């Protein structure tokens, strides 16, 4: 199970948070802070797995993260997930973002948090991996966007 997905920038500003387990808002922020603290002090050439976060899930809990330019993508998972598998998944997710936003950068995430959520929803659902095939993900996202557009035309015509 994936317990949480956090995206924040090099300064710890959250860009997307997705908890699959309920935490109150202040706790969520605390988890983000703690995670940022753990992740940010690591060099880029060390391994991408981290144990020792204490806030979610107790001992069966691992942080798997990737650092892209200004953003950290952190997945908090338990032992049922394959570490390398999740790393691949982060890559898939980021590549999907790249395709959907055309050369994604932090600003895209800042201004289109909702769209990033919609894309993420096609990758992970309720803490479980839904789809790993990028083409399939992109196709579904686009179909839904198209639907939204068609509705918009409809609305504005009214």
Beta-carbon contacts of residue 116 (< 8 Å; ≥ 6 apart): 7, 15, 16, 97, 108, 109
Specify the residue, 40 or 121, whose C-beta has the smaller distance to other proteins. 121
Out of 105, 129, 134, 138, point to the residue binding other proteins (CB under 8 A).
129
Asked if 119 is part of the footprint of other proteins (rule: CB under 8 A), the reply reads no
| 86-91, Cβ contacts within 8 angstroms, sequence gap of 24 or more | 86/2, 87/48, 88/132, 89/123, 89/124, 89/129, 89/132, 90/64, 90/65, 90/66, 91/66
What ranges make up the beta strands (E) of 52-149? 62-68, 71-77, 124-125, 128-129
**Least distance to other proteins from the beta carbon of 76, Å?**
15
Rounded Cα distance, 24 and 10, in Å = 24
**Least distance to other proteins from the beta carbon of 18, Å?**
8
64 in helix, strand or coil? strand
Asked if 153 is part of the footprint of other proteins (rule: CB under 8 A), the reply reads no
Residue count at the site for other proteins (CB under 8 A)? 55
Asked if 17 is part of the footprint of other proteins (rule: CB under 8 A), the reply reads yes
Site string for other proteins, 65-94 (x = CB under 8 A): ---------------x-xxxx-xx------
List interacting residues with other proteins (CB under 8 A): 1, 14, 16-18, 20, 22, 24-26, 28-29, 43, 45-51, 80, 82-85, 87-88, 110-114, 117-118, 121, 125-133, 136, 140, 143-144, 147-148, 151-152, 155-156, 158
């Amino acid at each position: 199970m994936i317990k949480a997905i956090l995206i924040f920038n090099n300064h710890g500003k959250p860009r997307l948070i997705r908890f699959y387990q309920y935490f109150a808002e202040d706790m969520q922020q605390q988890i983000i802070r703690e995670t940022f603290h753990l992740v940010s002090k690591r060099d880029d050439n060390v391994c991408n797995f981290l144990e020792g976060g204490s806030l979610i899930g107790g001992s069966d809990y691992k942080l798997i993260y990737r650092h892209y330019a200004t953003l950290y993508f952190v997945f908090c998972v338990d032992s049922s997930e394959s570490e390398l598998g999740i790393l691949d998944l982060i890559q898939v997710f980021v590549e999907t973002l790249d395709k959907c936003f055309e050369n994604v950068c932090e600003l895209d995430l800042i201004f289109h948090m909702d769209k990033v959520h919609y894309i993420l929803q096609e990758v992970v659902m309720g803490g479980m991996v839904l789809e790993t095939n990028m083409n399939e993900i992109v196709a579904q996202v686009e179909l839904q966007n198209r639907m939204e557009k068609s509705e918009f035309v409809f609305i504005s015509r009214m």
